[in-house]
Amino acid sequence: MKKENISYWTKSAAINEFPAMEQNIRTEILIVGGGIAGIMTAYRLAEAGRDVTLVEGRKLVQETTANTTAKITAQHHLLYQELYKKQGQEKARLFYDSQIDGIDAIDELVTKYQIDCDFERLSSTQLTDGRSEKAIRKEYDTYEKLGIRSELHEGDMGLPFKTTLGLEMPDQAQFHPVKFLAGMVEACKEVGVKFYEETLVEEIGKVQATTDKGHTIDFQKIIVATHFPIANARNNIISQVEIERSYIVAADGVNIPHGMFQTVDAPKRSLRHYHTENGVGVLVGGENHITGATCNMESAYEKLSASASEFFKGNVTDRWSAQDMMTVDRMPLIGQYDKKDPNVYIVTGFNKFGMATSATAAQLLTDLILRKENRYEELFRPERINTVGNQVKAVGKQIKDAVKGEALAMTDYGTDTSKLKAEEGGIFNVDGKLQAVYKDTDGQEHHVSPFCTHMGCVVKFNDAEKTWDCPCHGSRFDREGCVLEGPATQNLK
Ligand SMILES: Cc1cc2nc3c(=O)[nH]c(=O)nc-3n(C[C@H](O)[C@H](O)[C@H](O)COP(=O)(O)OP(=O)(O)OC[C@H]3O[C@@H](n4cnc5c(N)ncnc54)[C@H](O)[C@@H]3O)c2cc1C
Ligand code: FES
């Protein structure tokens, strides 16, 4: 499986490797998925004395967690005014507390295990050039009502672009996510977690999971930390979320701000500095869109690179992209999957803020399994999204529209694949059969079925990553049709 754009985090750190599972096994708690959510949860449960096995379909920490911006913060854009309005004061404050608990938990682990991962405490700030002053002031008022510590900065903030107002949340953090999790994998080993890599779980039953090689894993409890839930939930969570893709460029430069920033005005940019061998660089993120629902992703990188060079006089050294699950009420889904499957738990729906949330999720899942009280149980209970019907319908419509757009264009599918240039892909009618066709650098065509193996939607070519992306629930496949990201677990045929 070839990945086009590899993140700076992946290039600059390594994680110990583990063998694939070669026989049937039995474990008390099975965790599926070796990103930050799975690893943090494995650690907490094993620390509490449980027998824990973590299986990873590919390699540990190579998917979303390795492609994040890695801000560890309770400041999620201008979220609190929305939470306050829709969920009320108590829940909005509880959500803030959940994030602060997550930041503190990561801080404690970094100190306890002396993890060298560039962890730094610093502020997070929302910025406007004047166009979004009203919204920022409203967020500040909400912070005041909720008792959230913050500072409002009027006028220029000394950044290399115009700012008239900034809302700063102090004492947040950032780190190098792969270095942090390399340390946590070692901590997991110390408390007895068993790891298997290249072991993809294809089926989840009530007390047994089956891998792609046909091995079985008997469990008492299972935690699905695969980012996109793979089991078939009766409440069909996967249809009730949006999958949003974003892009990041890393650049060296001369005007690099120290801190974490988010511009509220369009085009929105997420900014932070990071440490390199030779000094510091800047990450510029943005250009979000629903996965598979837009063409010309290459231009996303061009726009971000333009921002990096205009603001920071920087040269782009790395670029990458990833996607996350966006829930209708902007809060994560953590807990029992469905009352009828009491042994199955999920952790997902991070709305692009999975770092602090994963640390909080790890404690919540541990408490749920140990039957201890946890004040976030109700707030993050996955089944709650069944009760926000109207919002769900809105998301459902958006996804349907993306698919409909594809279906309408079906009549336009060409038959002449010779029109494809090298490294281009597209959907063609080849002898009456719809085919996803990719042309490699030697002019060789690679044909696969365009129907996503999850639920049959037609995939779309992503010209920036050279992947086939599904607009329905975000599955992604490489140019040969091999699964890169779920919920699909089977390759394109
Ligand atoms: C561009 C971008 C920027 C972001 N920036 C931030 C930020 O600044 N701060 C923040 O807090 N959050 C941020 N996020 C969100 C955060 O990165 C994610 O929410 C988080 O990394 C998700 O972690 P995870 O463990 O759930 O998923 P992953 O890291 O994707 O891990 C899931 C693992 O499960 C494995 N898996 C999948 N299916 C199977 C299977 N069937 N069997 C076995 N294994 C399987 C996968 O291979 C993968 O390794 C950002 C997200 C994006 C997309
Ligand atoms: S991801 Fe569900 S149909 Fe493709």
Q: Domain with 317 in it: what CATH number? A: 3.30.70
Judgement on whether residues 386 and 462 belong to the same structural domain of the protein: no
Is residue 165 a part of any domain in this protein? no
Distance CA 292, CA 459 (A): 7
Judgement on whether residues 254 and 295 belong to the same structural domain of the protein: yes
**pLDDT for 229:** 81
Judgement on whether residues 356 and 477 belong to the same structural domain of the protein: no
Is residue 121 a part of any domain in this protein? no
Q: Which of 326, 353, 370 is the last residue of a domain?
A: 326
CA of 182 from ligand 1 middle (Å) equals 15
Question: Which residue carries 């996503």 as its tokens?
Answer: 452
Judgement on whether residues 345 and 475 belong to the same structural domain of the protein: no
Distance CA 424, CA 438 (A): 6
Distance CA 382, CA 345 (A): 9
Is residue 372 a part of any domain in this protein? yes
Per-residue pLDDT 10s for the chain (493 aa) are 555 689 999 999 999 999 999 999 999 999 999 999 999 999 999 999 999 999 999 999 999 999 999 999 999 999 999 999 999 999 999 999 999 999 999 999 999 999 999 999 999 999 999 999 999 999 999 999 999 999 999 999 989 999 999 999 999 999 999 999 999 999 999 999 999 999 999 999 999 999 999 999 999 999 999 998 876 544 567 667 778 888 999 998 777 778 899 999 989 999 999 998 878 899 999 888 776 655 566 688 889 999 888 888 888 999 998 988 889 899 999 999 888 888 999 999 999 999 999 999 999 999 999 999 999 999 999 988 765 554 455 455 455 545 544 554 555 578 888 888 888 888 888 887 889 999 988 888 889 999 998 888 889 888 878 889 888 878 889 888 988 887 787 889 8
Nearest residue CA, atom 1 of ligand 2? 473
Nearest residue CA, atom 18 of ligand 1? 354
Domain count along the chain? 3
Cis peptide before 177 (omega within 30 of 0): no
Residues within 6 Å of ligand 1 by CB: 32-38, 55-58, 63-65, 68-71, 200-201, 225-227, 230, 246, 248, 285, 322-324, 350, 352-356, 486, 489
Q: CB-based burial of residue 362 (10 Å sphere; 0-12 exposed, 13-18 middle, 19+ buried)?
A: buried
- Single out the residue of 71, 72, 77 nearest to residue 265, CA to CA: 77
Q: The domain containing residue 277 runs over which residues? A: 242-326
Number of helices and strands in the chain (H, E): 10, 24
For the chain, the farthest-separated pair of C-alpha atoms sits apart, in whole angstroms, at 65
Q: What is the CATH number of the domain that holds 346?
A: 3.50.50.60
Query: Token digits for 112?
Result: 């306890």
- Single out the residue of 67, 78, 128, 14 nearest to residue 283, CA to CA: 67
Please state at what angle helix 89-112 crosses helix 133-146, rounded to 10 degrees: 80
CA of 430 from ligand 2 middle (Å) equals 23
**pLDDT for 411:** 58
Is residue 370 a part of any domain in this protein? yes
Q: Residue 59 gets which letter from DSSP?
A: S
Is residue 452 in contact with ligand 2, taking CB distance under 6 Å? yes
Cis peptide before 267 (omega within 30 of 0): yes
Ligand nearest to the CA of 470: 2
Judgement on whether residues 226 and 338 belong to the same structural domain of the protein: yes
CA of 246 from ligand 1 middle (Å) equals 13
Q: Which of 270, 298, 326 is the last residue of a domain?
A: 326
Judgement on whether residues 335 and 235 belong to the same structural domain of the protein: yes
**Which atom of ligand 2 is the closest one to the Cα of 487?**
1
Is residue 402 in contact with ligand 2, taking CB distance under 6 Å? no
Judgement on whether residues 320 and 373 belong to the same structural domain of the protein: no
Query: Token digits for 290?
Result: 């629903």
**pLDDT for 455:** 80
Contact 345, 335 (CB under 8 A): yes
CA of 59 from ligand 2 middle (Å) equals 23
Judgement on whether residues 225 and 373 belong to the same structural domain of the protein: yes
Judgement on whether residues 235 and 337 belong to the same structural domain of the protein: yes
CA of 244 from ligand 2 middle (Å) equals 14
Judgement on whether residues 300 and 253 belong to the same structural domain of the protein: yes
CA of 392 from ligand 1 middle (Å) equals 23
Nearest residue CA, atom 30 of ligand 1? 64
Is residue 111 a part of any domain in this protein? no
Is residue 279 a part of any domain in this protein? yes
Nearest residue CA, atom 3 of ligand 2? 455
Judgement on whether residues 338 and 389 belong to the same structural domain of the protein: yes
State which of 226, 399, 475 you would mutate to test the pocket of ligand 2, scoring each by most atoms of that ligand within 8 A of its C-beta. Answer: 475
CA of 405 from ligand 1 middle (Å) equals 28
Distance CA 492, CA 226 (A): 20
**pLDDT for 127:** 96
CA of 313 from ligand 1 middle (Å) equals 31
Is residue 403 in contact with ligand 2, taking CB distance under 6 Å? no
**pLDDT for 297:** 66
**Which atom of ligand 1 is the closest one to the Cα of 201?**
42
Is residue 99 a part of any domain in this protein? no
70-109 residues labelled b (16+ CB within 10 A) or e (exposed): bbbbbbbbbbbbbbbeebeeebbbbbbbbbbbbbebbbeb
Q: Which of 326, 358, 378 is the last residue of a domain?
A: 326
Geometric angle at alpha carbon 360, from 387 and 226, rounded to 5°: 70
Which own/partner pairs from 478-485 qualify as long-range (CB within 8 Å, at least 24 positions apart)?
478/1, 478/2, 478/3, 479/2, 479/425, 479/438, 479/440, 479/446, 480/1, 480/446, 480/448, 481/436, 481/448, 481/449, 482/1, 483/453, 484/1, 484/3, 485/63, 485/227, 485/228, 485/323
Nearest residue CA, atom 35 of ligand 1? 33
Ligand nearest to the CA of 199: 1
**pLDDT for 490:** 83
Judgement on whether residues 321 and 246 belong to the same structural domain of the protein: yes
**pLDDT for 341:** 86
Is residue 63 a part of any domain in this protein? yes
Is residue 487 in contact with ligand 2, taking CB distance under 6 Å? yes
**Which atom of ligand 2 is the closest one to the Cα of 474?**
1
Distance CA 476, CA 473 (A): 9
Is residue 473 in contact with ligand 2, taking CB distance under 6 Å? yes
Ligand nearest to the CA of 262: 1
Q: What is the CATH number of the domain that holds 460?
A: 2.102.10.10
**pLDDT for 74:** 98
**pLDDT for 235:** 53
Q: Read off the pLDDT of residues 50-96 as tens digits, 9 standing for 90 and up.
A: 999 999 999 999 999 999 999 999 999 999 999 999 999 999 999 99
